[in-house]
């Protein structure tokens, strides 16, 4: 981070721009954006370059536009790796199930050229890939186009689809699959699971339509209650769960009904 100002200075000098040139260009950007926050005064630019003053996000935008720099790269100069937001989020457990609005390019990246051959039909040790690429290339598997998908987290206290979806799981959601299926599965693993947005939060579950109501059925092992919502007024279908990443290690917390016998079972 200490060298970020120096890098910006060297970039400006390579472009043969003076402080006055940058200030005048920033005034034009601010006028187009109708926001004076984008202006970089002479004294402020000098402080950014020579004193390590941290630019605001508006001024950083201006500098990247004038210097033709990649915004994410300059963020990394300042010690802010935007592509690691999803990685950090996985380390922070939240109790309630929720959506995760990560850009597809930040959640899973694939190198332009693959020099490590993988047969997706065979069991493979992925640690070499993770060390080489820096992040797990989820889109490599099954040819999934992550631009058509969103992500959700199953809350740490959400046992409603356990053991199929453990608390703390990261789920991949296909927004194109919002229509509730009424048939086409032979067991609980084939039955579609939907990610839903209520007025007060989110949840996952098997679903069925009954006239003007959406019935959300939890896994029988959870002993959670069946929920009923007015549809489409009280709940929205975000998409179908088409992928999941979860840890299988023993958890410190026990299932709240682990010593009990399931009271209900889902529709076949």
User: Contact 29/40 with Cβ under 8 angstroms?
Assistant: no
Average pLDDT over residues 136-164: 70
For 223-243, write each residue's pLDDT tens digit: 889 999 998 888 999 899 988
- R_g over Cα of the chain: 25
Q: What is residue 208's DSSP assignment?
A: E
- 3-state secondary structure at position 153: strand
pLDDT at 96: 84
pLDDT at 93: 73
Check residues 150 and 229 and name the one with the higher pLDDT. Answer: 229
Annotate 23-61 with DSSP letters as a single string: HHHHHHHHHHHT-GGG---HHHHHHHHHS-PPPPHHHHH
Residue ranges covered by each domain of the chain: 4-77, 89-245
pLDDT at 151: 80
Q: Which among 48, 54, 59 has a CA at the least distance from the CA of 25?
A: 59
Average pLDDT over residues 133-153: 57
Residues in Cβ contact with 78 at an 8 Å cutoff, skipping those fewer than 6 apart = 1, 4, 54
pLDDT at 266: 42
Per-residue pLDDT band at 78 (split at 50, 70, 90):
very high
CATH number of 4-77: 1.10.260.40
pLDDT at 237: 92
Measured CA to CA in angstroms, residue 246 lies from 46, 156, 172, 234 at distances of 49, 12, 12, 29
Rounded CA-CA distance 69/55 in Å is 15
pLDDT at 230: 92
pLDDT at 86: 72
Rounded CA-CA distance 2/13 in Å is 18
For 5-33, write each residue's pLDDT tens digit: 999 999 999 999 999 999 999 999 999 99
For 55-69, write each residue's pLDDT tens digit: 999 999 999 999 999
Average pLDDT over residues 192-199: 91
Average pLDDT over residues 205-212: 92
Cβ burial of 100 (10 Å; 0-12, 13-18, 19+) is middle
Mean model confidence pLDDT for the chain: 79
Residues in Cβ contact with 195 at an 8 Å cutoff, skipping those fewer than 6 apart = 99, 152, 171, 173, 202, 203, 204, 237, 238, 239, 240, 241
User: Contact 31/83 with Cβ under 8 angstroms?
Assistant: no
For 89-113, write each residue's pLDDT tens digit: 767 777 887 877 766 554 444 444 4
Extract the tokens encoding 172.
């991949």
For 117-131, write each residue's pLDDT tens digit: 545 445 344 445 444
Quick one: CATH architecture of 89-245?
Ribbon (2.10)
For 218-227, write each residue's pLDDT tens digit: 999 888 899 9
Q: Distance between alpha carbon 53 and the CA centroid of its chain, in Å? A: 31
Cβ burial of 266 (10 Å; 0-12, 13-18, 19+) is middle
């Amino acid at each position: 981070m200490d060298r970020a100002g120096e890098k910006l200075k060297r970039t400006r000098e390579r472009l043969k721009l003076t402080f006055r040139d940058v200030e005048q260009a920033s005034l034009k950007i601010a006028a187009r954006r109708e926001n004076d926050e984008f202006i970089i005064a002479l004294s402020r630019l000098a402080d950014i370059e020579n004193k390590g003053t941290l630019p605001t996000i508006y001024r950083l935008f201006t500098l990247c536009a004038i210097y033709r720099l990649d915004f994410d790269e300059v963020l990394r100069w300042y010690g802010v790796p935007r592509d690691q937001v999803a990685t950090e989020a996985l380390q922070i457990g939240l109790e309630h199930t929720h959506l995760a609005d990560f850009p597809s390019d930040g959640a899973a990246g694939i190198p332009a050229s693959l020099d490590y051959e993988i047969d997706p039909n065979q069991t493979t040790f992925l640690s070499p890939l993770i060390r080489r690429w820096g992040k797990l290339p989820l889109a490599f598997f099954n040819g999934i186009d992550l631009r058509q998908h969103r992500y959700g987290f199953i809350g740490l206290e959400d046992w409603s689809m356990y053991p199929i979806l453990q608390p703390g799981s990261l789920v991949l959601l296909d927004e194109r699959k919002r229509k509730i299926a009424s048939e086409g599965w032979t067991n609980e693993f084939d039955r579609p699971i939907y990610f839903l947005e209520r007025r007060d939060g989110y949840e996952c579950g098997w679903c069925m339509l009954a006239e003007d109501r959406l019935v959300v059925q939890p896994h029988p092992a959870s002993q959670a209650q069946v929920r009923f919502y007015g549809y489409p007024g009280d709940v929205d279908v975000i998409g179908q769960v088409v992928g999941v990443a979860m840890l299988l290690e023993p958890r410190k917390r026990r299932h709240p009904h682990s010593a009990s016998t399931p009271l209900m079972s889902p529709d076949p």
